[in-house]
Structure 1
Amino acid sequence: MQIDIRAKGFELSPALREHAERRLGFALSWAVYDVRKVAVRLYDINGPRGGEDKCCRIQIALPGTSDVVIEDTEADLYIAINRAVDRAERSLARRLERQREHRHARQPVVEITDDDSAEEFEQRADAGVFH
């Protein structure tokens, strides 16, 4: 899983980068085979004026479907990262579960009985006849 972290409007500190990487690593480690790339964009919307303007946007690229995109805005960037990562983990779990359910629903069910020979089974499978 490739993680790309970039800051816009301020300098990305090593501590902030490490925090984001660590949180993403823990939260998404279970989906390492499903996730190709994670892009994290950190913004300071209002600049030096202050307020709840620190934004964390996480985009998770998945093969064969649209990306999971989560955004959270807080006064503290560490909290914005934590909340966005938690929400991204839940959204990713839901998306992958739906994909798996959809994939399994499309698979034909083939019953094999004791009196079926391998040759008869293959003939029925090739013909699309299942019982």
Structure 2
Amino acid sequence: MQVIFESRDTDAAQMREPSIEKVRFALRRLAALVQRAKVQFSDVNGPRGGVDKRCQVEITTDAVGTVVIASLASDWRTALDRSLGRAARVLKRSLQRRNKPSRNRSLALAVDP
């Protein structure tokens, strides 16, 4: 799994290594299916402060395509944790839906007289 980190903010750049480790840990069970995970940090309001730290996680797989999740928080770690948690849940649910056997109603109707 390739992990890409992007940020223009100098404070977020310090989160590079912890972010890569968290991504690998959060997606460890799905690592065989995930080709690439991209983490982007941005500061929405700039130096004004507030709940403005944005983390976007983009996960690319062959099985279900691309999953993109973004979250806002007051600090970088919280934004990353929220994004990763939600992205892992969405990816897991998408894989379960894809692997769920479909009922073939037309076959059942053809067999019954």
- CA-CA distance at 1:66 after TM superposition: 3.1
Deviation of 1:64 (Å) = 4.7
Tell me which residue corresponds to 2:61: 62
The offset of 1:105, in angstroms, is 3.7
The two structures have a TM-score, normalised by structure 1, of 0.72
The residue correspondences of 1:41-56 to structure 2 (distance < 5 A) are 41-56=40-55
Q: Tell me whether 1:5 sits opposite 2:5 in the alignment.
A: yes
The residue type paired with residue 23 of structure 2 is L
Aligned residues with identical type, % of pairs:
34
Map of 1:88 onto structure 2: 87
Q: CA deviation at 1:88?
A: 0.9
What is the distance in 1 between the residues matched to 2:80 and 2:25? 13
Q: TM-score, structure 2 length as denominator?
A: 0.82
Larger radius of gyration: 1
What SS class does the counterpart of residue 51 from structure 1 fall into? coil
SS at match of 2:50: coil
Q: Which runs of 4+ in 1 moved over 2 A?
A: none
Q: List aligned pairs for 1:94-113, cutoff 5 A.
A: 94-101=93-100, 104-105=101-102
Question: What stretches of structure 2 of length at least 5 have no aligned partner?
Answer: 104-113
Q: Which has the higher contact order (CA 8 A, sep 6+)?
A: 2
Query: How many residues were matched structurally?
Result: 101
Q: Structure 1: where are the runs of 5+ without partners?
A: 107-131
Give 1:18 shift.
Answer: 1.8
CA distance in 2, matches of 1:52, 1:95: 30
- The change in CA–CA distance for 1:43 and 1:81 in structure 2 (over 3 A counts) is same
| Deviation, structure 1 residue 3 | 0.4
- The structure with the greater share of residues assigned to strand is 2
Separation in structure 1 between the aligned mates of residue 63 and residue 97 of structure 2, nearest angstrom:
13
- Deviations 1:2-54 (Å, cap 9, x if unpaired)? 0001103x1211xx112211211111010111111011110011111111110
Structural mapping, 1:69-84, within 5 Å: 69-84=68-83
For 1:80, the aligned partner's letter is A
